[in-house]
Amino acid sequence: ILVKFELLEDDILKITEISSCTIVTNTTDAIDVEFFVTSHQNDTEKYFTNIDPLKTKINGIAFDADTFKDIIPIVEGEYFKKIFKYQLKDDTEYHIERYIVMQQDINLDRIYSFSSSKIIDDISIQLQYCEKLNVTFSSVGKNVFKTDNIPFDGQTYVNRDILMPGEKFKVFIFKK
């Protein structure tokens, strides 16, 4: 997972999350896959959480621009949750690249968190941030992440264990 943090004008925090995974099944029958994102506020022109269909790919093929256009958020307590659904079929292995862009008010929401409803085996996180920001990484629950020695302009963390469904880590974002 690569997560980029950028402070724009008017204290808008732009977060870009680029992740990849492989789903392996024992059948070529159709299966549904869901990506979900949550935010503290409903989308506006200035603040939003969206999946970019042109940069999100399955087996190297990008989605059509209108694929996820009509997603309506579900209100869950104080959060707005968007569920992006897609049906996989005709193969037993799917390589997925997901590209999500979020914009939020850094004065109201200084946290980025990552969770998954699936079991994850082996995860690497790379955090990049602009010169106007500081970030602090924090694992959640019993998840243990170690810093990695991979040369990278930012911070890198890795977990080589099996991670059960749920929240994996949080990143706290601060203006310098």
Tokens of 68: 């996820």
pTM reported for the whole predicted model: 0.90
* Residue 3, both tokens: 């997560």
Query: Helix %, strand %, coil % for the chain, to 5?
Result: 0, 60, 40
pLDDT of residue 66: 85
For strand 61-62 and strand 166-175, is the pairing parallel, antiparallel, or unpaired?
unpaired
**Could you tell me how many residues make up the chain?**
176
59 Cβ partners below 8 Å, 6+ apart? 91, 94, 95
Q: Per residue in 74-99, is it b (16+ CB within 10 Å) or e — as a string?
A: eeeeeebebebebebeeeeebebebb
Give the 3-state secondary structure of residue 9.
helix
pLDDT for 123 equals 92
Q: What is the pLDDT of residue 67?
A: 84
Mean pLDDT for each 10-residue chunk of the chain (176 residues)? 96 96 91 86 88 93 86 88 90 94 93 89 93 96 87 87 92 96
Query: What pLDDT sits at residue 62?
Result: 93
User: What is the rounded CA–CA span in Å between residue 26 and residue 24?
Assistant: 7
CB 170 within 8 A of CB 135: no
How far apart CA 42 and CA 31 sit, in angstroms, is: 29
